[in-house]
């Protein structure tokens, strides 16, 4: 006997529709811990890693951990999952994988060194930076 498969889900569309909420939750959590230089990069169609990067700066390793804790706590509290966290013990660059959003919490030195805005920013910004 053959089992009937369930209809295809709209998981992708549902995930995309909740993206603005997740970005705002992560941004608000970072702002609540006095994060600086908050940047949101739209990566839609450019990578399978995430749809959006949230990049923020904390003045010290202690502050970056506090920012990361707040982002994780508020995302989970709103019903979003946290796939993984990396770099927490060091605190210079904490990566929080929230699925469609990846939050990067940097110290100023690490943010300057890795310069994700240049790497992942709009194509025309990268071309104008090269001049």
Query: H or E stretch including 97?
Result: strand 93-97
Residue 45 domain-assigned? Answer: yes
CB 31 within 8 A of CB 38: yes
Residue 5 domain-assigned? Answer: no
Give tens-digit pLDDT for 4-49. Answer: 544 444 444 444 556 899 999 999 999 999 999 999 999 988 888 8
CATH classification at residue 99: 3.30.460.10
Residue 27 domain-assigned? Answer: no
Q: How many CA atoms lie less than 13 Å away from 81 in the CB half-sphere?
A: 5
In this predicted structure, what is the pLDDT of residue 86?
Answer: 98
Q: Which of 10, 19, 93 is nearest to 50 (CA)?
A: 19
Residue 109 domain-assigned? Answer: yes
Residue 7 domain-assigned? Answer: no
Give tens-digit pLDDT for 91-104. Answer: 999 999 999 999 99
Domain that includes residue 61, residue range: 35-129
Output the pTM of the full model.
Answer: 0.81
Residue 15 domain-assigned? Answer: no
Q: Give the SS3 label for residue 50.
A: coil
In this predicted structure, what is the pLDDT of residue 62?
Answer: 98
In this predicted structure, what is the pLDDT of residue 17?
Answer: 54
Number of domains in the chain: 1
């Amino acid at each position: 006997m053959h089992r009937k498969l369930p209809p295809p889900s709209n998981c992708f569309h549902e995930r995309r529709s909740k993206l603005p909420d997740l970005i705002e939750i992560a941004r608000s959590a970072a702002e609540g811990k006095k994060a600086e230089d908050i940047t949101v990069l739209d990566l839609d169609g450019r990578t399978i890693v995430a749809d959006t990067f949230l990049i923020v700066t904390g003045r010290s390793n202690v502050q970056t951990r506090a920012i990361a804790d707040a982002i994780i706590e508020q995302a989970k509290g709103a019903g979003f999952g946290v796939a993984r966290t990396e770099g927490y013990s060091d605190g210079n660059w904490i990566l929080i994988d929230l699925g469609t959003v990846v939050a990067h919490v940097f110290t100023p030195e690490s943010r300057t060194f890795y310069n994700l805005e240049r790497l992942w920013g709009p194509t025309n910004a990268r071309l104008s930076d090269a001049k």
